[in-house]
Amino acid sequence: ETGVTQTPRHLVMGMTNKKSLKCEQHLGHNAMYWYKQSAKKPLELMFVYNFKEQTENNSVPSRFSPECPNSSHLFLHLHTLQPEDSALYLCASSQDIGTGSGYTFGSGTRLTVV
């Protein structure tokens, strides 16, 4: 069973809705990440948090707003999304950043924007 839990597993939302994705890790890791995976594209890094501080924003549109209240929880707040934002959103964690340690991924939230 994965040590990284994401909810919801599936989400359908209209372009004017506001929703949030939740990620929780039970591994005692210090770093957490949001990735986007679209069909036939590599995983795209969105945000990096280390000890609950954001260390990287990979030029993500402001309609995606992350929040990291502590090292175990990560949220992605969604507002006024576009159909092209439909994708699999993956949360991951690692012991530390920059050390080359592998990541543990959550099962992802499959988002459809209508």
Q: Which residues bind to another protein, rule: CB under 8 A? A: 2, 31, 33, 40-43, 45, 48, 50, 55-56, 58, 90, 97-98, 100, 102-108, 110
CB of 83 to another protein, least distance (A): 20
Minimal distance in Å, beta carbon 112 to another protein?
A: 13
Nearer to another protein, 33 or 64 (CB): 33
User: Which of 83/100 has CB closer to another protein?
Assistant: 100
**Alpha-carbon span 47 to 114, nearest angstrom:** 24
Minimum CB distance to another protein smaller for 90 or for 111: 90
**What are φ and ψ of residue 12, in 5° steps?**
-115, 125
User: How many CB atoms within 10 Å of residue 68?
Assistant: 20
Q: Considering the complex, what minimum distance in angstroms separates the CB of residue 18 from another protein?
A: 25
Give the span between the Cα atoms of 36 and 87, in whole angstroms.
Answer: 7
Residues 6+ apart with CB under 8 A from 37: 43, 44, 87, 88, 89, 90, 108
